[in-house]
A and B are shown apart, each in its own frame.
Chain A
Amino acid sequence: MVVLGQFADGLERDVTGRSAFGVSDSGLAAVDAEGLLRALADGEVEMSAVVGEQSAKTTVRVEGASERRPFSFQRDIGRILTRHGCNTSDCHGGVRGQGGFKLSLQTLIPRDDYKWIIEGGTFKVLTDEQDEPPQPRINREDPAQSPLLLKPTGKVAHGGGKRFEVGSGDYETILNWIKDGAPFGEEDGGSGALITRIEVFPEEVVLDRQGRWQLLVTAVFSDGRREDLTGEVRYASNNTVVADVTAGGVVEALRTGETSVMVRAAGHVASARIGVIAEPLAEYPPAPPPRNFIDEHTFAKMRKFNLAPAGLSSDEEFLRRVCLDVCGMLPPPGRVREFLADPDPDKRDKLIEDLLSSPQYNDFWIYRFGDLFRVAYTPQRQMDTTWSYFEWMRNAIIQNHPYDRIARERIAWEGTRGPLAHAYKIQLMRTPEAIAAEQTRVFHGIRIDCAKCHNHPFEAWTQDQYWGLAAFYSQLTVMSITTARFAGDGMLLDFPEGMGERSNGRTVTHPRTKESVRPAFLDGGLLTGAERENPRMRLAEWMTAPSNPYFAKAAVNRMWGWFFGRGIVDPVDDFRSSNPPTHPELLDALARDFVEHGYDIKHLIRTIVQSRTYQMSSSINATNRDDRINFSRAVPRRIESPVLLDAISDATGTPQPPVYHKVIGGGPAPVGTRVVQMIPDLLPSQFLDVFGRNNRHALPIPHEIGTVAQGLHMLAGDTFNERISREGGRSARLLESGADDQAVIEDLYLATLSRFPSDKERSVVGELIASGPSREESVQSLTWALICSREFGYNH
């Protein structure tokens, strides 16, 4: 039992330790000083808690108090192994186990654990064969001499040290189990019900720096029954600098910040978000009116976490940000003047609609999704398939195809044209399992790759699930192309109807069991007879179904990450129980809205950029300076390099068509071509080499910022030196125009930073222009400084 107090400063605090407990009928139940209630007989009982002058009551019904639960290996032995950390990933739960003894992670697979304990043996990645004779971990003749008891009690040397005492409750449980013949017991503990999930109460805790809070953990069974597990699970804080947690589940605040506490029970994981706040604000400012549901969620959390939201962005701030985020470009200076002068109260919404229907939107999102779906040149240089894939991508964005349709096409396209033929890098992604893992990462936000060789070290993904997924792609094969032009090159093909391959039932082989694997969905579902005709189409349908628990969430989270520089789950493609979302309700709401609106990408973008949360200013107040995860201010984000290169061209007035690589004929692209319109892989550009190139051949990694090469390129490279002095460029035109220094400064500020210079800037920069060796040099140097500045390189 946990008792919560509502305090005058707005915080809720755990007051269990200060409470006195009582029950209305001591014949039915007893309560101890810590508030732990024990059932004695069936009936209804009222429980009360008193703290000072405050009191609270709750009613408890006791049923089946006299029944004894039948034994279950998973529950009764598994929970001991889990609670004492025996089966964590850095101990026996690791991939190969530890010291020749292997357990599944958190009793995920009790049948395996049982076998390893009873018969001995260990896990090998590629085979079920054993090197050495297996050593059983129990001793049936002399149960007290079982390694399973000698090791954790420190009676014999144990790398993991002493985990429990001889004679302790857990010791006796194991000893008695072995004495009873070490049965596996019922899979479900005999009740006919399995644990379907565990729940933590509360899911979100806000503490002040001295705060402590008792978590409650409940198992929920498939028959709806619930059972207290608070004392039976393993707790761990994801960030022990911010808050720690005791073995009994009491969270202790340490310093201001936010983290999660992971709760692991046999086979299940749950988490609670923990916020540690400084002094609660004496007067929390009135929340701004929400524009849409996004704001309701973000503001509620800010309120709870004692973060005061920044004000509304200025028009300059908003204009630059939304143009970069929706169209990947800076607003032209004329548009800045116009927008700032426009008195229309709806001008932001109108601007958003203008941007969403602009050609630049199309270019930018073809580029964005091109990164995601790896629209890259093949090393085989079959350019027609590259272009056909690019055209598919282009068409999908221009026609604003629903995202689920795009996904289905990507997953299940057949034949040798369009997304399929080119979609998979055959050099590095040539196997069914590599493709399946990629699609799972992209469309479900899950990194399942670890499960290729062994059950995932931290998560509930098993090797069988991985290979079951891979089997969907078993019909794909690498074929040698024998035409003269592509002699020796390989190409990834599937076998459409009529080629006879499908009916031959090509399969993938499980690396350990060496058995051929049938396609199985992540939830374990198998294909029925007729569905086996085209397994990839069925997979596409399953992966994109509105009922799929991952698809919509992964999509909206990725989109959110593009607009805020951070996902609600972050990294955006790393959904796992140990990496919980910062705003789970918001994530659900966005996903629901996305599904309800037919997976309309433009709708999703509109919803995000219209929100007050997106339109927040970047200004800093007393509470939000260090906030990176609650969106209480707009945190500046580095502009990605292709967009930055286009911005430099625009700002310096030196449009420079990118150059094609030799492989596609060489020479410059048509006048007016922007970098984001290109496929970046083979685009020759020293700037991209230095500032980061979107490598569509490898897992995306953030481009490094602040390298010496970047410093060198700014000082000595063409992009920065030649552009500022080029004939016909902005600097040259300004010099020729006869504009005075202040007009030059104003124009350059508008073109680069999308704002007017401040009075101070006008005067300091004006003096610097006058101090230079020549006006020409000064104007060029100012232009150089503006495009090298932090303010220019960031979206804020």
Chain B
Amino acid sequence: MRRSACSTCGGGNLGRRDFLRVGSLSLLGLGLNHYLQASEALAAAGATGSGGQRKAEACILLWLEGGPSHVDTWDPKPNSNFKPIATNVDGIQVSELLPLTARHMDKIALVRSIQSKGVNHPQASYYTLTGHEHENAVKFPSFASIVTKELGPRNDLHPYMLVPMPWEDDFFDYQDGFMSAFIGSQYDPMVLPDPSKEEFNVPDLRLPKSITKEVIDHRRSFLQAVDEAFRAKEQLADFDKMDAASQRALSMLMSPAVKKAFDMSEESEQTKDAYGRTRVGQSALIARRLVEHGCRFVTASGWVDAQWDTHGDNDKRLRDNLAPQMDRSLAALLEDLDQRGLLETTVVLVMGEFGRTPDINPGGGRDHWPNCWSLAVAGGGIRGGQVIGASDEKGGEVADRLLSVGDVYATVYQALGIDHTKTYTNPIGRPVYIANNLEDKQGQPIPELL
């Protein structure tokens, strides 16, 4: 009965579905060196645009599915039953539920005055992931897809991954928020299975043993013979695309680098423990691994069934389960990235689809609250150790500096060297801000963060 106050939250007795979508990449057929050159060229272009000097190369979004209570985490208030604790930055306090993360506050910037739209999970998720309200007729690309498009791939690895499938029971109602909409399916995510599983294996990336290179060559000779007559007659535009895709698929299958990116056995037991041996922890770990091997954007979730949706039993669920997992995985990720010298080049963004009500409901829970909530951002040259904006006494409304996810996107774009003032034109000719604020205007970077 934990969802008594939430009429739209799904029930939740489904298992997962494997779901893989890999788009064709824009630089088909080029080798790794070409990618790197192209990406350097892009970086140079970014440096001369309004994006300024680019430091960051990639972004990890830790997605807190269900909507975390801000007053019990980033924005401690008297109306929380958890005490504030000091962090390693003077004057910044967080909830006692986040002791490990508190030690990394110098790396983290908190934004405590976010307002968003959408009171129900699908609409709200869509809003925070795209910066636009959900419409049936007009779809907008996800922030992740935009970053992927603007930065381009770095190597053979698909540049945008989603691990594992969020909202997996009802993914159809949520997927739009993660997708590329009109900018092209090559900017859709490749969805990975749960990396904490012993049998973790990315579908279709391993050839059956019996299929050697020789067998593949033989098959391709047959294919050529079979297709010859049809190809001689028809010259459809899709054919070139299909040829390029199959060529690229073959090189991916043969590429040791691609295999390596997914090979969790290369991580030490100690590292796995540090992140937490859970879906959440291991998803954060593989996110680091994927960024290290060339991904541009990884959305790591691992929460099951809208876990942060604490309509009932808020405190117990936060204390026993939710906060410790998040605290551990986030702290481990920041430390790990830092030690590997990746923190300077990787933006880490932590948020859900909204905050939760300042008041506890009769069921001991907190309900959906888009009016004012907090998110955390670190790495990629973002200046940590500061708090932007403020909520009122109870964390119910914005007291200082109303900000939107569009403003946060604009900030991250700048960190990544992407011109945040860009617009895309959608299929009906409407210009769409890549950073869209609450009033459907251009989002503005938060200057203190850069």
Taking Cβ atoms with an 8 Å cutoff, the residues of A that contact B are 89-90, 376, 379-381, 425-429, 434, 437-438, 447, 449-450, 452, 457-458, 478, 480, 486-490, 618-620, 636, 638, 661-663, 681-682, 684, 686, 689-690, 695-699, 704-717, 721, 758, 761, 764-765, 768, 771-773, 777-778, 781-782, 784-786, 788-791, 794, 796
Q: How many angstroms between the C-alpha atoms of A380 and B222 in the bound complex?
A: 48
Partner of B4, one of A487, A619, A690, A785: A487
- Minimum CB–CB distance from B191 to chain A (whole Å) comes to 8
**B244 and A690: CB pair below 8 A?**
no
Q: How many angstroms between the C-alpha atoms of A695 and B137 in the bound complex?
A: 15
Whether a CB of chain A sits under 8 angstroms from the CB of B249 is yes
**A716 and B206: CB pair below 8 A?**
yes
**A379 and B170: CB pair below 8 A?**
yes
Partner of A429, one of B5, B136, B138, B231: B136
Contact stretch, chosen from B31-39, B207-215, B295-303, B339-347:
B207-215
**B230 and A790: CB pair below 8 A?**
yes
**B137 and A706: CB pair below 8 A?**
no
Q: How many angstroms between the C-alpha atoms of A202 and B134 in the bound complex?
A: 43
User: Which residues of chain B are near A713, meaning CB under 8 Å?
Assistant: 204
User: Which residues of chain B are near A712, meaning CB under 8 Å?
Assistant: 22, 204-205, 249, 252-253
Asked, given contacts A490-B8, A706-B24, whether A781 binds B249 with beta carbons under 8 Å apart, the answer is: no
Nearest A residue to B2, CB-CB = A488
Asked, given contacts A707-B185, A710-B245, whether A662 binds B122 with beta carbons under 8 Å apart, the answer is: no
Asked, given contacts A427-B170, A681-B172, A786-B226, whether A704 binds B233 with beta carbons under 8 Å apart, the answer is: no
Of the A-B pairs whose beta carbons lie under 8 Å apart in the complex, a sample of 6, sorted by A's number, is A90-B429, A427-B173, A490-B8, A689-B20, A708-B25, A716-B253
Whether a CB of chain A sits under 8 angstroms from the CB of B274 is no
Contact with A along B5-44 (1 / 0, CB 8 A): 1111111011101111111110000000000000000000
Partner of B204, one of A695, A706, A716: A716
Please give the number of chain B residues whose Cβ is less than 8 angstroms from any Cβ of chain A in the complex: 86
**B253 and A428: CB pair below 8 A?**
no
B92-129, CB < 8 A from A: 120-123
Top 8 nearest A-B pairs by Cβ distance? A711-B249, A449-B137, A706-B241, A785-B222, A488-B3, A709-B22, A706-B242, A711-B246
- Minimum CB–CB distance from B248 to chain A (whole Å) comes to 5
Q: How many angstroms between the C-alpha atoms of A713 and B30 in the bound complex?
A: 21
Q: How many angstroms between the C-alpha atoms of A709 and B205 in the bound complex?
A: 9
Asked, given contacts A682-B17, A777-B218, whether A458 binds B225 with beta carbons under 8 Å apart, the answer is: no
B196-249, CB < 8 A from A: 203-208, 211, 214-216, 218-223, 225-231, 233-234, 236, 238-249
Nearest B residue to A686, CB-CB = B203
Whether a CB of chain A sits under 8 angstroms from the CB of B158 is yes
**A791 and B134: CB pair below 8 A?**
no
Asked, given contacts A450-B137, A488-B6, whether A427 binds B122 with beta carbons under 8 Å apart, the answer is: yes
B64-98, CB < 8 A from A: none
**A789 and B242: CB pair below 8 A?**
no
Q: How many angstroms between the C-alpha atoms of A791 and B21 in the bound complex?
A: 24
Asked, given contacts A706-B241, A707-B23, A716-B206, whether A488 binds B134 with beta carbons under 8 Å apart, the answer is: no
Partner of B11, one of A380, A438, A781, A786: A380
Asked, given contacts A488-B6, A689-B19, A709-B204, whether A695 binds B223 with beta carbons under 8 Å apart, the answer is: no
A-B contacts counted at CB < 8 A amount to: 243
Interface centre among B221, B226, B229, B240 (most CB of A within 10 A): B226
- Minimum CB–CB distance from A157 to chain B (whole Å) comes to 22
- Minimum CB–CB distance from B16 to chain A (whole Å) comes to 9
**A695 and B249: CB pair below 8 A?**
no
**A697 and B172: CB pair below 8 A?**
yes
**B122 and A785: CB pair below 8 A?**
no
Whether a CB of chain A sits under 8 angstroms from the CB of B176 is yes
- Minimum CB–CB distance from B244 to chain A (whole Å) comes to 7
- Minimum CB–CB distance from A206 to chain B (whole Å) comes to 26
Q: How many angstroms between the C-alpha atoms of A789 and B219 in the bound complex?
A: 11
Q: How many angstroms between the C-alpha atoms of A758 and B175 in the bound complex?
A: 46
User: Which residues of chain A are near B137, meaning CB under 8 Å?
Assistant: 437, 447, 449-450, 699
User: Which residues of chain B are near A716, meaning CB under 8 Å?
Assistant: 204-208, 211, 253
Q: How many angstroms between the C-alpha atoms of A487 and B11 in the bound complex?
A: 8
Nearest B residue to A488, CB-CB = B3
B413-443, CB < 8 A from A: 428-430
**B252 and A379: CB pair below 8 A?**
no
Whether a CB of chain A sits under 8 angstroms from the CB of B266 is no
Whether a CB of chain A sits under 8 angstroms from the CB of B269 is no
Extra inter-chain contacts (11) besides given A379-B170, A698-B175, A708-B158, CB under 8 Å: A434-B136, A487-B1, A620-B233, A638-B238, A689-B19, A709-B204, A710-B249, A714-B246, A715-B216, A765-B226, A789-B227
User: Which residues of chain B are near A661, meaning CB under 8 Å?
Assistant: 14, 17
Partner of A699, one of B136, B204, B228: B136
**A706 and B245: CB pair below 8 A?**
yes
Whether a CB of chain A sits under 8 angstroms from the CB of B135 is yes
User: Which residues of chain B are near A782, meaning CB under 8 Å?
Assistant: 222, 226
Nearest A residue to B244, CB-CB = A706
Partner of A768, one of B186, B221, B233: B221
Q: How many angstroms between the C-alpha atoms of A638 and B137 in the bound complex?
A: 25
Q: How many angstroms between the C-alpha atoms of A704 and B183 in the bound complex?
A: 13
**A704 and B23: CB pair below 8 A?**
yes
Asked, given contacts A427-B122, A704-B185, whether A717 binds B203 with beta carbons under 8 Å apart, the answer is: yes
User: Which residues of chain A are near B241, meaning CB under 8 Å?
Assistant: 705-706
Nearest B residue to A703, CB-CB = B185
Whether a CB of chain A sits under 8 angstroms from the CB of B57 is no
Asked, given contacts A488-B9, A764-B225, A789-B223, whether A449 binds B172 with beta carbons under 8 Å apart, the answer is: no
Whether a CB of chain A sits under 8 angstroms from the CB of B353 is no
Whether a CB of chain A sits under 8 angstroms from the CB of B250 is yes
Q: How many angstroms between the C-alpha atoms of A705 and B136 in the bound complex?
A: 24
**B238 and A427: CB pair below 8 A?**
no
**A636 and B234: CB pair below 8 A?**
yes
User: Which residues of chain B are near A379, meaning CB under 8 Å?
Assistant: 10, 169-170, 172-173
**B172 and A698: CB pair below 8 A?**
yes
Partner of A449, one of B6, B13, B136, B226: B136
Asked, given contacts A699-B137, A706-B242, whether A711 binds B223 with beta carbons under 8 Å apart, the answer is: no
